[in-house]
């Protein structure tokens, strides 16, 4: 399985007086625009999702919807899962992915440092080997789901992917 791991785009700052509670933090205008460019860059490399899973937090869902548009994936088919919330057990997500027998390319949308935990778990590391930037994307090729055994194929900064989309 190809697992595309995407951190949400730039969201309203926690210190902003207009900032809502954490689950309702939303992408800024800049975050939306930059995420659209990143998603276009991912589309340029030919990624086609069979399945999209997102944290239920608004900023992650918005990011998933932007990617769905760019990758011609039905937004209504984005599944929200608490397994992508900050602090969730990475092994639970891999158990869930093991049930997705038909999916060969899966996109997941979530938060740092949880996504870095997922990448480390997927490649058998006890420590983070990545630090995903906002709207950053990593591709992990999973040979086995439980216990996970995979290889980090690439890790791309948003800036690089935005250039690819131009």
Give the model confidence (pLDDT) of 108-144 as tens digits.
999 999 999 999 999 999 999 999 999 999 999 999 9
Look at 2 and 166; give whichever has higher pLDDT. 2
pLDDT score of 160 more than 90: yes
Give the model confidence (pLDDT) of 72-91 as tens digits.
999 999 999 999 999 999 99
Report the C-alpha gap between 81 and 107 in whole angstroms: 13
The two structure tokens encoding residue 64: 């998933």
The pLDDT value given to residue 110: 98
Q: 91: burial class by Cβ within 10 Å (0-12, 13-18, 19+)?
A: middle
Using pLDDT thresholds of 50, 70 and 90, give the confidence band for residue 50.
very high
Using pLDDT thresholds of 50, 70 and 90, give the confidence band for residue 166.
confident
Domain boundaries, the chain: 2-164
The pLDDT value given to residue 20: 97
CATH class, 2-164 region: alpha beta
Q: What's the chain's Rg over C-alpha atoms?
A: 15
């Amino acid at each position: 399985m190809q697992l595309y791991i995407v951190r949400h785009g730039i969201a309203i700052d926690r210190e902003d007086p207009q900032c809502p509670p954490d689950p309702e933090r939303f992408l800024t205008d800049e975050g939306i625009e930059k995420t659209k460019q990143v998603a276009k860059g991912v589309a340029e490399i030919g990624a086609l999702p069979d399945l999209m899973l997102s944290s239920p937090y608004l900023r992650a869902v918005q990011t998933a919807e932007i990617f769905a548009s760019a990758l011609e994936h039905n937004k209504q088919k984005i599944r929200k899962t608490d397994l992508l919330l900050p602090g969730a057990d990475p092994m639970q997500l891999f158990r869930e992915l093991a049930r997705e027998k038909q999916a060969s390319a899966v996109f997941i949308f979530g938060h740092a440092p949880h996504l870095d935990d997922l990448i480390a778990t997927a490649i058998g590391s006890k420590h983070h080997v990545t630090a995903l930037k906002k709207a950053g994307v990593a591709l992990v090729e999973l040979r086995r789901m439980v216990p996970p055994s995979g290889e980090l194929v690439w890790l791309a900064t948003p800036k690089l992917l935005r250039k690819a989309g131009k």
